[in-house]
Protein backbone atom coordinates (compact mmCIF):
# COMPACT_ATOMS: atom_id res chain seq x y z
CA UNK A 1 0.00 0.00 0.00
CA UNK A 2 2.76 2.46 0.91
CA UNK A 3 4.76 1.58 -2.20
CA UNK A 4 1.70 2.18 -4.37
CA UNK A 5 1.08 5.54 -2.69
CA UNK A 6 4.74 6.52 -3.12
CA UNK A 7 4.57 5.63 -6.81
CA UNK A 8 1.42 7.72 -7.30
CA UNK A 9 2.97 10.70 -5.49
CA UNK A 10 6.15 10.39 -7.54
CA UNK A 11 4.15 10.34 -10.79
CA UNK A 12 2.21 13.40 -9.70
CA UNK A 13 5.44 15.19 -8.83
CA UNK A 14 6.79 14.72 -12.36
CA UNK A 15 3.69 16.08 -14.06
CA UNK A 16 3.70 19.70 -15.10
CA UNK A 17 0.82 21.90 -13.97
CA UNK A 18 -1.39 23.38 -16.68
CA UNK A 19 -1.05 27.06 -17.47
CA UNK A 20 -3.55 29.13 -15.55
CA UNK A 21 -4.65 32.33 -17.24
CA UNK A 22 -4.63 35.70 -15.49
CA UNK A 23 -8.44 35.86 -15.55
CA UNK A 24 -8.87 32.49 -13.82
CA UNK A 25 -9.64 33.98 -10.38
CA UNK A 26 -12.07 36.53 -11.80
CA UNK A 27 -13.84 33.71 -13.65
CA UNK A 28 -14.21 31.73 -10.44
CA UNK A 29 -15.72 34.69 -8.57
CA UNK A 30 -18.02 35.39 -11.51
CA UNK A 31 -19.28 31.81 -11.40
CA UNK A 32 -19.77 32.00 -7.61
CA UNK A 33 -21.79 35.18 -8.10
CA UNK A 34 -24.00 33.49 -10.71
CA UNK A 35 -24.65 30.50 -8.44
CA UNK A 36 -25.48 32.77 -5.49
CA UNK A 37 -27.89 34.90 -7.53
CA UNK A 38 -29.70 31.75 -8.70
CA UNK A 39 -30.04 30.54 -5.13
CA UNK A 40 -31.44 33.91 -4.01
CA UNK A 41 -33.90 33.94 -6.90
CA UNK A 42 -35.06 30.43 -6.00
CA UNK A 43 -35.59 31.53 -2.39
CA UNK A 44 -37.61 34.58 -3.45
CA UNK A 45 -39.70 32.51 -5.85
CA UNK A 46 -40.33 29.91 -3.15
CA UNK A 47 -41.42 32.55 -0.67
CA UNK A 48 -43.74 34.14 -3.24
CA UNK A 49 -45.25 30.71 -4.01
CA UNK A 50 -45.89 30.03 -0.32
CA UNK A 51 -47.52 33.45 0.12
CA UNK A 52 -49.71 32.88 -2.96
CA UNK A 53 -50.85 29.44 -1.80
CA UNK A 54 -51.60 30.80 1.68
CA UNK A 55 -53.59 33.74 0.31
CA UNK A 56 -55.59 31.53 -2.04
CA UNK A 57 -56.29 29.02 0.73
CA UNK A 58 -57.50 31.69 3.13
CA UNK A 59 -59.63 33.23 0.38
CA UNK A 60 -61.26 29.91 -0.41
CA UNK A 61 -61.90 29.11 3.24
CA UNK A 62 -63.36 32.50 4.11
CA UNK A 63 -65.11 33.04 0.77
CA UNK A 64 -67.94 30.63 1.60
CA UNK A 65 -68.96 32.46 4.76
CA UNK A 66 -71.91 34.82 4.57
CA UNK A 67 -71.47 38.43 5.57
CA UNK A 68 -74.05 39.26 8.22
CA UNK A 69 -74.47 42.76 9.58
CA UNK A 70 -75.29 42.56 13.25
CA UNK A 71 -76.96 45.26 15.24
CA UNK A 72 -75.60 43.92 18.50
CA UNK A 73 -73.84 46.04 21.01
CA UNK A 74 -70.16 46.77 20.83
CA UNK A 75 -67.91 46.65 23.85
CA UNK A 76 -66.19 49.84 22.77
CA UNK A 77 -69.12 52.06 21.83
CA UNK A 78 -71.75 50.82 24.26
CA UNK A 79 -71.37 50.77 28.00
CA UNK A 80 -69.63 53.21 30.30
CA UNK A 81 -68.41 56.50 28.94
CA UNK A 82 -64.63 56.63 29.09
CA UNK A 83 -64.20 60.12 27.67
CA UNK A 84 -61.64 62.34 29.41
CA UNK A 85 -64.38 64.72 30.64
CA UNK A 86 -66.30 61.92 32.33
CA UNK A 87 -63.18 60.40 33.84
CA UNK A 88 -62.15 63.77 35.31
CA UNK A 89 -65.73 64.42 36.50
CA UNK A 90 -66.01 67.68 34.59
CA UNK A 91 -69.54 68.86 34.05
CA UNK A 92 -70.35 70.53 30.72
Model confidence, pTM: 0.41
Query: What's the structural domain count of the chain?
Result: 1
Name every residue whose Cβ is closer than 8 Å to that of residue 28 and which is 6 or more positions away in sequence.
Answer: none
Distance from C-alpha of 53 to C-alpha of 65, rounded to nearest angstrom:
19
So what's the pLDDT on residue 9?
85
Mean pLDDT score of the chain: 81
Is position 90 within any domain?
no
Structure confidence by residue, pLDDT tens digits, 29-53: 999 999 999 999 999 999 999 999 9
Provide the pLDDT for residue 70. 64
The reply to whether 44 falls in a domain is yes
The reply to whether 43 falls in a domain is yes
Q: Is residue 49 part of a domain?
A: yes
Would you say residue 40 lies in a domain?
yes
Does some domain include residue 68? Answer: no
- The boundaries of the domain holding residue 40 are 26-57
Amino acid sequence: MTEKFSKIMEDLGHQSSPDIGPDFEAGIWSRVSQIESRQLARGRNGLAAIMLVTALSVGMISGGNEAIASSGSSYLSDGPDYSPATLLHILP
